[in-house]
Structure 1
Amino acid sequence: MTNPLTGEVIFSRDVSYRRGLDLAGGLHVVLEADVPEGTEVSSDRMEAAREIIERRINALGTTEPIIQVAGNNRIVVDIPGVQNPDEVIATFGQTGLLEFIDAGTDTLVPGQEVVTDYPEPPADVPEGTKVYHTILTGADLETASVGFHPETNEPVVSFKFKDGEPTQKLREFTRNNVGRVMAIVLDKRVISAPVIRDEIPNGSGIIEGNFTLESARALEIQLRYGALPVPLKIVQVRTVGATLGEDSVQRSVLAGLIGVISVAIFMLLYYRLPGLLANLALIIYGAVSLSLFKLLPVTLTLAGIAGFILSIGMAVDANILIFERMKEELRSGKSLGAAARIGFRRAWPSIRDSNFSTLITCAILFWFGATFGASIVKGFAVTLAIGVIVSFFSAIFVTRIFLETVMGLGRVTREWWYGV
């Protein structure tokens, strides 16, 4: 979107269709719990890790990822249409454990690994290794966001601790340790090690670490959606092609086109002029639905396309109910205008009830897909619901406007043209 006066870009976003893993391919990653051999990881912790990974991936703007727990200690992640695999993996693959540690007067450099006493002091520390005390963790954060340093204009991550004990801890520590180092550590690796200049009274601050905008965004997502309850390591990464193949996609599209054209021909031959107007409304319905798929956006899988085609049937079904009612009124001797009004009025309860019952089913399917990680089911529910809502509009309003406009011209008055 641009300013018509200056030509300046006000808003910009990619509005191309998003295709799912089965249509466009994507990234396949297998994560495994990184725990000592023989340690058992509970199913609750693995499920919690799966949910956090899903939230992190969704925050990147990636839709319809497939994230499943496999076995006792593995999580399988399939993400469609990934443009930057390294960035995505860095966002969800790291544990995301943020610690603010008391480094005293030590000089710590970004990237340096350290040992801390969180969640508990390690039992087997090599001799001479210093164990640093953790003051606060990312679990104490209230919010995090990406910003820019006012002097260097480099990306930074702003944070704010929760009111109460976390803010009080930070205030007391900074008040009593002016001139000492409070290092910020992510997954036991130093991000930055600033010297405390003054007391921090309100629990707010920034993390600097020579970030790019992408790495700052990845850290923000990790902080906002929490640390993983169990450390994970990547055991397999591969880019996968479309699972259906280009030939299967083309055949599916061809089958859909044959179905739509067959329905259009039936409507034209059986209902004549109203059928022609319904076909025009169907074209508008398709254009609006596909535009919404781009704008929202909706990730199109084969199941999603099936939902869209099914909604076309709902649109045609509504028109058939209306036209059959019209024909009944015309046979009983009503005028064209009266038959159209009564036809729409009497068909309305059936159309309303059928559409609402379908939307309720879509809501149940969406809940099921969101709760149990069945993203394909969720995609089917979304495309079907959008299609039903748009078809409801096209059948009740667009077709009616077309029909009343043609009848108002007074040129087509023979009942034969209306299927009688």
Structure 2
Amino acid sequence: MFQAQQKIIANQYPAWKYLLLIVITVIGLTYAMPNLFGDDPAVQVSPAKSVEFNADTQLQVENVLQQAGLKVKSSVFEGGKFLIRFNDTEDQLKAKSLLKEALGRQAVVALNLAPATPGFLQGISAEPMYLGLDLRGGVHFLMDVDMEAAVAKAYLRYVDEIKGSLRAEKVRYISVEVENEALEIQFKDLETLQAGLVSLNQEYANRFTITSDETTSAPKAILKLSQTTIAETQKYALQQNITTLRNRINELGVAEPVIQQQGDRRIVVQLPGVQDTARAKEILGATATLEFRLVEENGDPYRAEKTGYAPNGSIIYKFRDGRPILLKRRIIVSGENVINAQSGIDPQQGSAMVNVTLDGAGGRKMLATTKENVGNRMAVVYIENRVETVEENGVKVKKRITNKDVINAAVIRGQFANRFQITGLDSPQEAQDLALLLRAGALAAPMEIVEERTVGPSLGQDNINQGFMSVVVGFLLVLVIMAWRYKVFGMVANVALLLNLVIIVAVLSMLQATLTLPGIAGIVLTVGMAVDANVLIFERIREEMKNSSIQSAIYAGYEKAFVTIADANITTLLAAVVLFSFGTGPIKGFAITLSIGIITSMFTAILGTRAIINLLYGNKRVEKISI
């Protein structure tokens, strides 16, 4: 009893607790500090794939900027890329245009905002928070994936596979076609149909619903994708499109993009800092890919175009100038086999071209084809799919538009495998775009941009100013009310509240989190909630002072209020975790700042204020306290 009474009267922390508080305060101030220095308008120059920058490139960049008379704040060549800072956005925009023209195909030149953090802070990896689209400016797209096209494409993928499977089982079929959202396989007679059904059920019963139609002259098996397979196909299309969009955005050189799934068929894309929205829209929405096919030399393409009938095993295509050409149905390789593509200039003709590198499977197919067809022609078909919303009879309907143009039909002069060139492109810009799309991969299904919003840099700055003002106003109001209501104890709570705000910013900076307007709302809410713990403690101290000594009241106030404070904060933290788990985009940002704020406020409101109160009143004979 005597020992307990002594502990209550002492109200002192051991030295390690004070040391812990000092260390956390210093770390918090250090890692929050970079957010005070702002950003510099900058140009980021990254090498294109298979390109390496060297001293000559560095000299070329310096010469371009010097000749233009642009004032460079600093230029750093690190990690194989350049980061060039300027004093204003006018010089930044000029530099981007000049460097893009000078470096062309060798580099990806992108606008950026580079943190103006001093070197001593960068040396300890102290960086500011990233700013989201609503604070930095940029472009927001909501994209709808055409799931019907994804399913139709899945049916087409199975055509060749089923043909090969039936041939392997020595089952003769007449045709395998996609009709009425199903695969229809025609057989010569009922006996062959039965043999085909046995083979198909063994191989595809888990992916298709298989039925038969024996009423037609040529009996047929009908294969419809099961609901499970359709769901898997649609899920794959969505995930593949997200991956492809990430690759394309990386090629554009956008820093800190946001690419998220929304619902079952939509994707949200946010590109902070992007100013060329037309270019971004064109690259993101394009579904361009290539097919390589042999030319059918034995038919007359003009006659086929006139009659509408192509010789067996061939299809009618057209060059971009409208000339018809007959191509064989079998695809040698497609854009899915391309692992790298670089635009360039054909030294012989002086026209734009793309250097293509195929994967192993594509290289083997190309080698086998060119080995047997030296002297014949091979065509490159450029395919572009897009979805457009048009109005018909007052109703908005979606239409799928597919353009298939033959951009080149050249004679195979010799054997080649995984490396070759595509010529016949209209311009260097088209070659660059085609190379970018091939490198990033094809979309699994066409997409339509159903919503587009642009946030200008000035509006983003307005949001920053308003968000900052809301934090300041909320903070000051809490300071005034706490100082008025609880006197010295209220001022102690205010010091803890300031430390809490510093630690929140520091943690967000250390995590390199992206701050958005909802995130600022979470910080404002945390500022208001952070003093709840101190209000509970201070009111408890007032109650205890009626029946016990001041030292005992201080001790009891902190000890007895702790359980209530912990319960209240844990329930709020659980709600924030649920918001983060099931929310998207802005909701996640709000949940992150709220969660961090709850944890840091527990630390500062209990440990922080207790440490200061102990320093002021601990181990002293106090007759009166200001609370």
Place the TM-score, normalised by the shorter chain, in its bin. 0.5 to 0.7
The question of 1:62 aligning with 2:62 is answered no
Greater relative contact order (Cα 8 A, min sep 6): structure 1 or 2? 1
Q: Judging changes above 3 Å, is the alpha-carbon distance between structure 1 residues 103 and 14 closer, same or farther for their aligned structure 2 residues? A: farther
Structure 2 counterpart of 1:358, from 555, 572, 576: 572
Q: Secondary structure in 2 aligned to 1:62?
A: coil
Alpha-carbon offset, residue 391 of structure 1: 1.4
Q: Judging changes above 3 Å, is the alpha-carbon distance between structure 1 residues 54 and 300 closer, same or farther for their aligned structure 2 residues? A: farther
Q: Secondary structure in 1 aligned to 2:317?
A: coil
Partner of 1:25: 137
Alpha-carbon offset, residue 85 of structure 1: 5.0
Matched AA of 1:383: T
The question of 1:82 aligning with 2:263 is answered no
Instruction: Compare CA radii of gyration and give the structure with the larger one.
Output: 2
The question of 1:407 aligning with 2:617 is answered yes
Structure 2 counterparts to residues 90-105 of structure 1, below 5 A = 92-95=284-287
**Residues in 2 aligned to 1:185 and 1:357: alpha-carbon distance in whole angstroms:** 60
Partner of 1:391: 601
Alpha-carbon offset, residue 133 of structure 1: 3.0
Alpha-carbon offset, residue 363 of structure 1: 2.0
Alpha-carbon offset, residue 279 of structure 1: 0.7
Asked if 2 retains the 8 angstrom alpha-carbon contact of 1:19 and 1:81, the reply is: no
TM-score of the two chains, using structure 1 as the length reference: 0.60
Structure 2 counterparts to residues 242-321 of structure 1, below 5 A = 250=465, 253-321=468-536
Q: What is the total number of aligned residue pairs between the two structures?
A: 359
Structure 2 counterparts to residues 18-417 of structure 1, below 5 A = 18-21=131-134, 23-29=135-141, 56-57=245-246, 62=256, 77-82=269-274, 85=277, 89=281, 92-95=284-287, 124-126=316-318, 127-130=324-327, 133-134=331-332, 138=336, 222=440, 227-232=442-447, 239-241=454-456, 250=465, 253-336=468-551, 338-370=552-584, 375-408=585-618, 410=620, 413-417=622-626
**Residues in 2 aligned to 1:385 and 1:65: alpha-carbon distance in whole angstroms:** 23
Alpha-carbon offset, residue 18 of structure 1: 0.4
Alpha-carbon offset, residue 300 of structure 1: 3.2
Asked if 1 retains the 8 angstrom alpha-carbon contact of 2:579 and 2:591, the reply is: yes
**Residues in 1 aligned to 2:566 and 2:257: alpha-carbon distance in whole angstroms:** 31
Q: Judging changes above 3 Å, is the alpha-carbon distance between structure 1 residues 83 and 325 closer, same or farther for their aligned structure 2 residues? A: farther
Asked if 2 retains the 8 angstrom alpha-carbon contact of 1:19 and 1:80, the reply is: yes
The question of 1:15 aligning with 2:121 is answered no
Q: Judging changes above 3 Å, is the alpha-carbon distance between structure 1 residues 394 and 29 closer, same or farther for their aligned structure 2 residues? A: same
Give per-residue Cα distances to partners, 1:351-403, cap 9 Å, x unaligned.
22222211221122223323xxxx22222112211211221221232222222
Matched AA of 2:625: W
Give per-residue Cα distances to partners, 1:88-132, cap 9 Å, x unaligned.
557643438688x6989xxxxxxxxxxxxxxxx995434535456
Give per-residue Cα distances to partners, 1:227-255, cap 9 Å, x unaligned.
43322467997743379786676555444
Asked if 1 retains the 8 angstrom alpha-carbon contact of 2:522 and 2:593, the reply is: yes
TM-score of the two chains, using structure 2 as the length reference: 0.43
User: Sequence identity, in percent?
Assistant: 29
Asked if 2 retains the 8 angstrom alpha-carbon contact of 1:319 and 1:395, the reply is: yes
**Residues in 2 aligned to 1:183 and 1:332: alpha-carbon distance in whole angstroms:** 96
Q: Judging changes above 3 Å, is the alpha-carbon distance between structure 1 residues 255 and 29 closer, same or farther for their aligned structure 2 residues? A: closer
Matched AA of 1:415: K
Asked if 2 retains the 8 angstrom alpha-carbon contact of 1:93 and 1:232, the reply is: yes
What are the ranges of 5 or more consecutive residues in structure 2 without an aligned counterpart? 1-33, 35-118, 154-180, 182-229, 296-312, 319-323, 341-356, 385-405, 408-413, 420-427
Question: What RMSD in Å do the two structures reach over aligned CA positions?
Answer: 5.9
Partner of 1:155: none
Q: Judging changes above 3 Å, is the alpha-carbon distance between structure 1 residues 268 and 302 closer, same or farther for their aligned structure 2 residues? A: same
